[in-house]
Amino acid sequence: MKKTLSTAMLAATLLLSTPWQPESAHAAGAYTAKVYASSLNVRSEPAASASVTGSLKSGALVTVTDEQHGWLKVRAGSVSGWVAGYYLKRTSGTAEAASGTAAGAASVKTSSPSSGSAGGTAQVTASSLRIRGGPGTGYKVLGSLKEGDSVKILLRQGDWARIRTASGETGWVAGQYIARGGSSTGSTWSSGSSPRTGSIRGKLIVIDPGHGGSDPGMLGTSYDTMEKDLTLQTAFYVRDYLRAKGARVELTRTRGDQKPSLSRRVQIGQQLRADAFVSIHYNSSPKKVSGTLTFFYSENNDLRLARSIENRLRQGIGLKSNGLSFGDYHILRENSLPATLVELGFLSNRTDESIVRTASYQKKAAKAIAEGLADYFD
C-alpha cells in the first residue's frame, strides 16, 4: 500500500477488510456480521470436528469477537461458539474504525511491505503513541512513545508501521502518527542478521505440514479438500526437492493421523538445531481472495527467509503471490530458528481449490519453496 493513499481510502480499506490471517486468533475489537448459509453450525471449538453447540439461520446477525484459522467466534442471543468464517460477511467496522480512528481492523490486507519505505527514520507526531505487539489495536500494548521521539521504520503493513525505538525495542504503531524525515538517532539497523553460509548443502531444514489428525485445518468449499492432506503432500514434495539439493530434511509429521502440538513442532526444530523452519498451510477467507501469502514474525530472524521464498513463489507457480506479511503465529513467534509460514492458496476460493489440489501445483509450490531456501543460504 502506498503511503500516498488518502486517509479516506485507508479507512475504506480497513472497513472492508475481513480477517484472513488464519490462526492469528487476535481479532481487534468485535464487529457485526451476517450469516450467508441456510443453516450454519456453531461449534465448541474452531474445527470442523468439534461438537455442534447450536445453529444459525440465513440472515442472522452475529457479533464476531475472535478469529482463529478462518473460524470466527460468534455470539447471537443465547448461541455462542465458532463458525466457519466463509459463511459470514461483515456488516460493520469495529467501533474504533467507525468512529474515525481507522485503526481497528482485525487484520489488514497487505501489499508488498517492500513498497513501504522500510529503513527510514520517523518522528512521533502524537502526544502519546502506543507501541503494540502487532499491526492492529487488538494487539497487546508493549509501551508508548512521546511526541518527537525518533523511531526507525522497519516495515509498513497497511496503515501500521513496525518500528524500532531509540532504545532498541520493536513493535507496531499506527502509521498516521509518525512522520518521515525526523532527525536520525544514528542507531544502526541491520536486516537479516543470520549468517550467510554459502550453500544449502548439508543444512537441516524442518518442514512443518500444518494440522493433522483430528484437526483437518480448512475444508475446501467446492471439493471438500482437507488442508491437512494438502500440507502433508506438499511437504513431501518440498522434502524431495530439498534432498535433491543436498539438504537434510525433517518433517514435524509424516502421517495423516499425527497431530503434534504447535509447541512440539517448534521444539522439533530447536532440538535438532535446524537451520530453518518452514510451516506449510492452505488458507481460507470469507472474502473472494486468491493466491499465496508468506508470513514472518521477526524481521531480524525470519524476514530474509520469508522474502527468499516469496521471491520464488511470485515467479509463477499458478497462483499469484500476495506478498509478505507479519504473522503473529505461535510457530513463528516461539521459534528461535529462522522461520516462515506459507499459505499456498485459498480453499474458500473455488478456482484456488481446484488448482491447489493438483499434484502439479503442489510440486511447483514445493520447488519454489526449496529454491527460496537455497537462495536464502546462498
Nearer to Zn ion by Cβ, of 164 and 281: the residue is 281
Nearest distance, CB of residue 21 and Zn ion, angstroms: 11
β-strand partners of 343: 281, 293
**Which amino acid belongs to residue 210?**
G
Contact string (CB under 5 A) for Zn ion, positions 256-295, x = contact: -------------------------x--------------
User: Which residues within the stretch 200-219 sit at the binding site for Zn ion (CB under 5 A)?
Assistant: 210, 217
Nearer to Zn ion by Cβ, of 269 and 327: the residue is 327
Nearer to Zn ion by Cβ, of 171 and 327: the residue is 327
Query: What is the rounded CA–CA span in Å between residue 177 and residue 161?
Result: 10
- Residue, CB closest to Zn ion: 281
Check if the beta carbon of residue 339 is closer than 8 Å to that of residue 351: no
β-strand partners of 155: 162
Nearest distance, CB of residue 218 and Zn ion, angstroms: 6
**Cell 522461520 identifies what position?**
339
Nearer to Zn ion by Cβ, of 171 and 210: the residue is 210
If we measure between CA atoms, which residue out of 366, 99, 154, 85 comes closest to residue 244?
366
Nearest distance, CB of residue 22 and Zn ion, angstroms: 5
Query: What is the rounded CA–CA span in Å between residue 331 and residue 201?
Result: 25
Q: Which helix (H) or strand (E) holds 376?
A: helix 359-377
Nearest distance, CB of residue 227 and Zn ion, angstroms: 5
Nearest distance, CB of residue 115 and Zn ion, angstroms: 27
Report if residue 171 touches Zn ion, rule: CB under 5 A.
Answer: no
Residues in the chain: 378
What's the grid cell of residue 267?
521444539
Nearest distance, CB of residue 306 and Zn ion, angstroms: 16
What's the grid cell of residue 213?
489428525
Binding site residues, Zn ion, CB under 5 A: 210, 217, 281
